[in-house]
A and B are shown apart, each in its own frame.
Chain A
Amino acid sequence: MLLGPSLALSAVLFVLGVAGVLIRRNAIVVFMCVELMLNAVNLSFVALARLHGVSGQIMVFFVMTVAAAEAAVGLAIILAIFRHTQSVDLANINLLKG
């Protein structure tokens, strides 16, 4: 069983994803980092399914479906932004001030 190393790898990937979301300023790269987070969690589910049975693997299918739907909507939104600003740099997305 590779449970420990798998979970550790999944945690590392997840943290990389979080760091990417927080640091990178390109909307598409940020979105890729979010996908990295989701897939890191998928790795955890698959590893844990070895321990607990098949339900973890079923969850992975749901997560993949959701990630695909999110990708469709997310890229459409990024396109809509690109039409306005001719850029996908989050630094240019400043009409609304936080």
Chain B
Amino acid sequence: MPIDLSSPSGAVLALLPELLLSLWALVVLLYVAWRHRDGYDMRTAGALSLLGYIFAVAATGWLAWRGAHAEGLSIMIALDGFRFASDALLLWIAGAVTILSVRWLIRQGILAPEYYPLLMLATVGMMLLAGSADLITLFLGLEVMSISVYILAGFDRTRRASAEAALKYFLIGAFASGFLLYGIALTYGATGQFNFELIGAQFAATPPTLMAKLGMGLILIGFAFKVAAVPFHAWAPDVYEGAPTPITAFMATGVKAAAFFALARVLAEVFPAMVALWRPVLFGLAIVTMLVGNLTALSQTSMKRMLAYSSIAHAGYLMLALWAHSDEGTAAVLVYLLAYSITTVAAFGILASIERAGARTVLLTDLEGLFAVRPFASMGLSICMLSLLGFPGTFGFIGKWLLLSAALHQGQAVLPIVAMVGSAISIGYYLPVVLAMTLKPTRTRQAHQTIRFPRPARIAVAICIFAIMLFGVWPNVVLNFASQKVVQLRQAELPTGPR
């Protein structure tokens, strides 16, 4: 179904998932303006917002099923399989985080149902960011997402840690947006265009000027802040620890995934002609991110901080797929982010249930002897740790294997070796979690009696764990889906010759 994006009706059709979700967010906002007193209102708002995600998934699925593609130039928003796949992933994350939040918020005494509309608006921003075909949409999507997430990070404002997390995230996030925006300005200055295709064509025709190179560098810095790549990662552990736990899960998966989707698109469509310039940058960033992320995670005692450093390391692994700059790399980005987000959401879901009301985090020592009291929760968390580690038989292994082979097929051996070393280091912090739960005795008789694992969250986590196991041993469905031609980004021909 060709859609003419220059006509208003075409634009509405192309933006249907985002529009439906924004409209529904306003409806929910209107509802909570009247009903915001007790736990019942919180639950209703959560259920209503889930409906919004279902609408948006249906609209995305409909567009994908009709084979929507742009007639002529894609103006402002992309219409390709990659956008639909990334939208589906982001909506899935938002829905799962909503389910995990419902009872958790009530238990923590956060009775402010504005949480759900904000989560929906953040998702709209993520979808616009991941699907942008124009630097203006890219910037607006990024800001809609970021501003909503700043508020969500500080949502538990009566706790000092949450307010501090919000302030740090806000200042660093706004700082990073400044870099990205300056990069956009210089790219615009060099080409006179905002559209990805037109800029890409211009760079392919004429050798890039100094202005264009600076613009690309600044855009890369802006994205490096957003995905928390070393050396732009210092904010991540603090923010992840201070934010409410479901929001930490949202930031670690949704925000990171959206930024990676957008970065993949920008590198493939805007700067393919400058591949010789950005590949060394990604190479260096990937190596330090993998090593620093994994090494720093070793010394953490707080689970949320440990997972924050582990998410930094995973950003490093993902850069391998971007470095590859091939169809295989695009498929690897999709599969790895799916595996990573399923696992991380499940892990944070279990941690949220273990967390005591009012506590900032879960310490590694809090998990001791969990297996004896809560065998299923502890088994689930063990499976998550193994999947993050990339243990064979879990979905994480499939994702990592795709990443490594994507880089290897482009004639790169150093990055995969560093990634293997990084994974080997990560055994040092994932395995102690499993050992603490199974081998160590419980500290006191009252230990683990405060765990509350409400049924909706339990079902969501169980589905995630099941998916990790299923796709770990039977990955064909996911692999076949991701290797289709329709979900790939347009890749420009690489300059031939020795690399």
How far, in whole Å, are A74 and B190 apart by their CA atoms in the complex?
A: 32
Q: Is the interface of B mostly helix, strand, loop or mixed?
A: helix
- Complex interface residues of chain B between 175 and 225 (CB less than 8 A to chain A): 175, 177-178, 181-182, 184-186, 188-189, 192-194
Given contacts A37-B178, A41-B178, A53-B192, contact A96 B163 (CB under 8 A): no
Q: How far is the CA of A55 from the CA of B227 in the complex (A)?
A: 29
Interface centre among B186, B189, B192, B235 (most CB of A within 10 A): B189
**Option from B166, B192, B193, B238 in Cβ contact (under 8 Å) with A97:** B238
Whether A59 pairs with B194 at a CB distance below 8 angstroms is yes
- Interface residue ranges of A43-98 to B (CB < 8 Å): 44-45, 48, 51-53, 55-56, 58-59, 62-63, 66, 69-70, 73-74, 76-78, 80-81, 83-85, 93, 95-98
B188 partner, pick from A14, A48, A70, A77, beta carbons under 8 A: A48
Q: Which residue of chain A has its CB nearest to the CB of B174?
A: A34
Instruction: Count how many chain B residues have C-beta atoms less than 8 Å from C-beta atoms of the other chain.
Output: 39
Q: Is residue B161 within 8 Å, beta carbon to beta carbon, of the partner chain? A: yes
Asked if A95 and B188 make an inter-chain contact with CB atoms under 8 angstroms apart, the answer reads: no
Q: Which of A17, A66, A96 contacts B161 (CB 8 A)?
A: A96
| Interface flags, B154-185, vs A, CB<8A=1, else 0 | 10010011011111101100110110011011
A contacts with B: majority SS: helix
Query: Roughly how many angstroms separate A45 CA and B194 CA in the complex, as a whole number?
Result: 12
Name which residue of chain A comes closest to B192, CB basis: A52
If A48-B188, A59-B136, A95-B161 touch, does A77 touch B167 (CB 8 Å cutoff)?
Answer: yes
Which residues of the other chain, B, contact A66 by a CB distance below 8 angstroms? 139-140, 143, 147, 177
Interface size on A, residues (CB 8 A): 43
Q: A44-B185, A44-B189, A62-B139 are in contact. Are A80 and B163 (CB under 8 A)?
A: yes
Bound together, the chains give a CA A48 to CA B185 distance in angstroms of 8
- Min CB distance B476 to A, Å, is 43
A30 — which chain B residues lie within 8 A by C-beta?
171
A69-B235 Cα distance, complex, nearest whole Å: 22
In the assembled complex, B150 has its CB within 8 A of some CB on chain A: yes
Report if B242 contacts A (CB, 8 A).
yes
Say yes or no: B175 contacts A21, CB within 8 Å: yes
Q: Which 5 A-B pairs have the closest CB atoms?
A: A52-B192, A37-B178, A96-B238, A44-B185, A84-B160
Q: 15 extra interchain contacts, Cβ-Cβ under 8 A, other than A59-B139, A74-B150, A96-B168?
A: A21-B175, A30-B171, A37-B178, A52-B189, A63-B139, A70-B143, A74-B171, A77-B150, A93-B167, A93-B168, A96-B164, A96-B165, A96-B237, A97-B238, A98-B234
